Chain A
Amino acid sequence: MVENKTWLVALREYTENLRTKTFWLGILSFPVILIIAAVVPSMLAKAKDVRRYAVIDRTEWLLPAIEERAQYDDVLQLLKFLQKQAAKGESALAKMPAALRGVAAGLEQKSSKQLETQARFWTGLGKSFANLQATPKPDEGSQGPEVGEQAREFLNWFASLSPGEARSLQAGVKRERYERIEIPAGTADPEAWARAQLDSGKSGLFAYFVLGATPLDSNEGFKYVSNNRTDKELKDWIGRLSSEEIEARRFAKEKIDPDVARRIQAPVYFDEKQLDSSGQEKEVSSKDVIRQWAPLVFVYLLWVSIFTIAQLLLTNTIEEKSNRIIEVLLSSISPLELMTGKILGIAATGLTTIVCWVGFFLIGLKFMPKLMDLPADVDLTVLISDPSFLLSFVVYFLLGFLLYASMMVGIGSACNSIKEAQNLMSPIMIALMLPLLAMMPVGQDPNGTLARILSFIPPFTPFVMMNRAAGPPEMWEYVVTTILLIVSVLLAFFAAAKIFRVGILMTGKPPKMGEIFRWVFAKEGK
């Protein structure tokens, strides 16, 4: 009979929560956040303003070389993009400008090496673009694929491609973001001109470069002038292109064979391996890397779930108190039944939310890589391939939830408003932040001293032990920490029941911490 009433309270709590908009918004917020997290960063990057820049070239040759290299990068990027689109089928290509459609058709079977050759050849032609238009046929001696009507059309199109058009194409070319402004011919002091432009901001100039006169010998005279100190992308990009060109010329000047130079410069590369279960070396796959990171994902999920639900319980208790219905309920059931019922009801609500979230998450794992443009061989479903992760997640969720729920109910029952509760909450909030902060260090060193110590502090146990799952911790650690956790859950629960019994009927000034402790240790009935 007694349990019966607890279930009644729990059931009512659950059905009422299911009827609120907040509940459904909470469920839907997760996939929305998931999608936003996957799509928005790249969208934001694309939405950046076009950066206009000017280059004052004191060498006469470096700027054209940079331009040529930039053009090569973009054309290669475009070819790769077209190849991908072509693989998707007719409908994807139908949206493309006519100049690209023809080019795309021939790309499907080509290797990335072949694409590079084609890009190099085409941009080589682009350099003498004026000639190309005058003489329809390329030089007899040139190697590489035959340049026909298609290439000409493509290069014509590319030459007149504006940043806006480039962006709407979503191919990821640099043209989307950067536009070089020509310094008017015959300007006596180009640098003064650029300075004035940047200062007045009239032409929307973001930065200007000065390329030093003797780049092969020294960096002297190289300058990057901008008022933006945070966005270094343009500087890095032009810097990379210049370095590549200058490097090549230095080798040529010293009469070093480019192949030799490449060999000299080649960095040492460690081939990453790991041992499999039988002690044999094996390749490190993306799967293994993801598996290593999986616990972190679960810690985060655990944290968010426990935190969300505990918060829900806190507001719910305070609401119920201000609702003035408590006394009616208490004339029918005991405070312990009421509290247990509420905790169970909210736990059920929370579990429903989390099951939905996990569902979305699993669906997300299938589609996230595509949304985030991750390489095709990255399979995020590895995250949940290990059942012990899911099992320990459920166990730690329940224990962790009960622990924090007891604290929240205790606090909630002693307070009359959310504001009052927040004061009492702050120690708990700080405690909750710690496992999040420790997430990376513990993840990197799952069996280190920090990880071990934190595992034995019950409020942190669920998070830290989850965090260490890839370690994995030793069996005795699992056993001892779990026993500690269960004992603390029981203690917290009965302390909360004591506080609840007194606090729930209190109105007026919120009690001090000391007073609350006295309730806990007071004899029954007082």
Chain B
Amino acid sequence: MEYALTLEHVSKRFGAHRAVDDLSLSIPSGSIYGFLGPNGAGKTTTIRMVTNIIQPDEGTITVLGQKSSELTKDLLGYLPEEKGLYKKMKCAEILAYFGRLKGMGAREAKTKARDLLERYGLGEWADKRTEALSKGMGQKVQLLGTLIHDPRLLILDEPFSGLDPVNVELLRDLILEQRRAGRTVIFSTHGMEQAEQICDFIFLINNGKKVIDGPLSQVRKSAEQAVMLDYDGDGSLLASLPGVVRVNNAGKSAELFLAPGSDPQLLLRALVGVVQVRRFDQREPSLHEVFVRAVGGRQAAKDLSHG
């Protein structure tokens, strides 16, 4: 298999803190790879090393077949978590500027900037200053800025945070479109929903160490069986029902985790006597659950609900 990105035994320390610890990772070309992990786990540090903004203390990073360096920067499209635009520049100008910084010619960058804006419904904003854009539009322009030089590897750090549902959908389509075009997309996220919807592979990092890494379907299978339940009534007794190991209770709905080998039908029968069941959905565990279990502890769950 051809890899768009490989990390071999990469470590990075900040003072005494090990931000990334002996991390190895291979990302196949043409895939969508989700980077998950609680705050401070090392996602952004990993991404910054891949983009050569900071250099690893140990290990090697290979980007599209080349050892990571100042030169590989031009091959990447990177959207950082902290993103901004020059307020006084016009949309088309700033896109062209980003393109030129990636080594595009002046004329080529100019045409491409207008094309992109036109294609993504921002044509009329091309000659307006970026300060006039709404937040969602601003993020769109930022994203276009990472695409302008047609990078074969796209790295998006928390691209979904702060987007409204319409823009979330737009971004999702855009990411899928990139894969169709044969490009590789890596994105980090707190939003399990998006990761579940579009990722081919999941990589979970905690305390600088790799916790889970593999195709989404496999990752899910490795976890416990679960039942999604929508109900009315007193949910406090759910945990004591037969076969239930743990409950992720949200009040009107709950996720019930079953002991290996237990029968969901038995559970359903018991449930009827306890609460009024509106939905009973037997399914593979959500990525959310995989995440919480892998990271362990309530802190991670908290991070998630706030993320």
* CB atoms of B145 and A328 under 8 A apart: yes
Tell me the bound Cα distance from A55 to B55 in angstroms: 87
* CB atoms of B85 and A8 under 8 A apart: no
Closest chain A CB from B82 CB (angstroms): 4
Q: Does A331 contact B (CB under 8 A)?
A: yes
Q: Does A261 contact B (CB under 8 A)?
A: no
Closest chain A CB from B79 CB (angstroms): 8
Q: Which residues of A contact B54 (CB under 8 A)?
A: 505
* CB atoms of A328 and B98 under 8 A apart: yes
Contacts A16-B88, A323-B84, A325-B84; A330 near B53 (Cβ below 8 A): yes
Tell me the bound Cα distance from A505 to B55 in angstroms: 13
Closest chain B CB from A75 CB (angstroms): 62
* CB atoms of B83 and A328 under 8 A apart: yes
Interface range on chain A: under 10, 10 to 19, 20 to 34, or 35 or more? 20 to 34
Q: Does B76 contact A (CB under 8 A)?
A: yes
Contacts A8-B101, A526-B57; A325 near B70 (Cβ below 8 A): no
Closest chain B CB from A59 CB (angstroms): 76
Contacts A1-B103, A331-B53, A525-B57; A324 near B82 (Cβ below 8 A): yes
Q: Which residues of B contact A505 (CB under 8 A)?
A: 48, 53-54
Q: Which residues of B contact A329 (CB under 8 A)?
A: 101
* CB atoms of B55 and A525 under 8 A apart: yes
Contacts A12-B97, A330-B53, A331-B80; A20 near B74 (Cβ below 8 A): no
* CB atoms of B101 and A327 under 8 A apart: no
Q: Which residues of A contact B57 (CB under 8 A)?
A: 525-526
Interface Cβ pair total, 8 Å cutoff: 67
B88, B97, B100: which contacts A20 (Cβ < 8 A)?
B88
Q: Which residues of B contact A332 (CB under 8 A)?
A: 73-74, 98, 101-102
Mask, A513-526, CB within 8 Å of B = 1, is 00000000000111
Q: Which residues of A contact B98 (CB under 8 A)?
A: 328, 332
Known: A324-B84, A327-B83, A328-B98. 18 other contacts (CB 8 A): A5-B101, A9-B101, A12-B89, A16-B86, A16-B88, A16-B89, A323-B84, A323-B87, A324-B80, A324-B82, A328-B84, A331-B73, A331-B80, A505-B48, A524-B55, A525-B55, A525-B57, A526-B57
Can you name 26 A-B residue pairings with CB atoms under 8 Å? Answer: A5-B101, A8-B97, A12-B89, A12-B97, A324-B83, A325-B83, A325-B84, A325-B85, A325-B86, A327-B48, A327-B80, A328-B80, A328-B83, A328-B84, A328-B142, A328-B146, A330-B51, A330-B53, A331-B73, A332-B101, A333-B73, A334-B70, A505-B54, A524-B55, A525-B55, A525-B57
Binding site for A on B (CB under 8 A): 48, 51-55, 57, 70, 73-74, 76, 78-80, 82-89, 97-98, 100-103, 142, 145-146
Binding site for B on A (CB under 8 A): 1-2, 5, 8-9, 12, 16, 19-20, 323-325, 327-334, 505, 524-526
6 closest residue pairs by CB, A with B = A324-B84, A327-B80, A331-B78, A332-B101, A525-B55, A324-B82
